[in-house]
């Protein structure tokens, strides 16, 4: 079983969550291809049993680089593929704290008839640049464990 993890990250926080998920999956014997969204080349759905996509929340939605990627993502080929989505966010001072990049990723992938197997993971950062709030790496590890349980 091999997974595909794609993330965007301006300041490294979303990258850290993506790496933590990849590492935890790896420790359980599940290999992954981990890509920064800016380096993704041609993807073959047949190479992957599941997909994990993560983005910082920008203005209550997916960051621009991840949004561009998802526009190009050929949904029909990935139909039925299990997926999970995550974001990092700094909800301090926002009028609507419910807005989330991860929820928007999940919505877009479900529109492509992909199969969401877990609720989204939302990781909190301090300020715009981070670091991640204490405990978020541990929460990401637990999320990976839940993912493994769903996949087996």
Ligand X SMILES: Cc1cc2nc3c(=O)[nH]c(=O)nc-3n(C[C@H](O)[C@H](O)[C@H](O)COP(=O)(O)O)c2cc1C
Give ∠ CA 131-134-136 in degrees, rounded to 5: 85
Number of residues that bind ligand X (CB under 6 A): 21
Closest CA to 58 of 29, 78, 87: 87
Tokens of 59: 């203005």
Stretch that binds ligand X, among 5-13, 36-44, 68-76, 108-116 (CB under 6 A): 5-13
Which tokens sit at 90? 């700094």
Distances (CA, A) of 132 to 41, 100, 103, 104, 148: 29, 16, 19, 21, 23
Is the torsion defined by CA of 75, 50, 114, 64 positive or negative? negative
64 sits near ligand X (criterion: CB under 6 A): no
- Binding residue (CB under 6 A) for ligand X from 91, 112, 137, 151: 91
Cβ proximity to ligand X, 26 vs 131, nearer residue: 131
| Among the residue ranges 4-12, 33-41, 74-82, 136-144, the one whose residues contact ligand X (CB under 6 A) | 4-12
Which of 22, 88, 136, 147 is close enough to bind ligand X by CB under 6 A? Answer: 88
Residues near ligand X (CB under 6 A) are 9-15, 56-60, 88-91, 94, 99, 125, 128, 130
């Amino acid at each position: 079983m091999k997974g595909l993890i794609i993330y965007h990250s301006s300041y490294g926080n979303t990258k850290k969550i993506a790496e933590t998920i990849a590492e935890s999956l790896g420790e359980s014997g599940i290999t992954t291809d981990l890509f920064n969204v800016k380096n993704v080349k041609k993807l073959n759905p047949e190479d992957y049993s599941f997909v994990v996509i993560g983005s910082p929340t920008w203005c209550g939605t997916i960051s621009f680089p991840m949004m561009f990627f998802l526009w190009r993502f050929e949904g029909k080929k990935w139909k039925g593929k299990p997926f999970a989505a995550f974001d990092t966010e700094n909800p301090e001072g926002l009028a609507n704290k419910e807005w989330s990049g991860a929820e928007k990723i999940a919505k877009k992938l479900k529109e492509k008839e992909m199969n969401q197997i877990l609720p989204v993971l939302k990781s909190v950062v301090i300020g715009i640049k981070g670091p991640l709030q204490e405990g978020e790496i541990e929460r990401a590890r637990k999320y990976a464990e839940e993912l493994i349980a769903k996949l087996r």
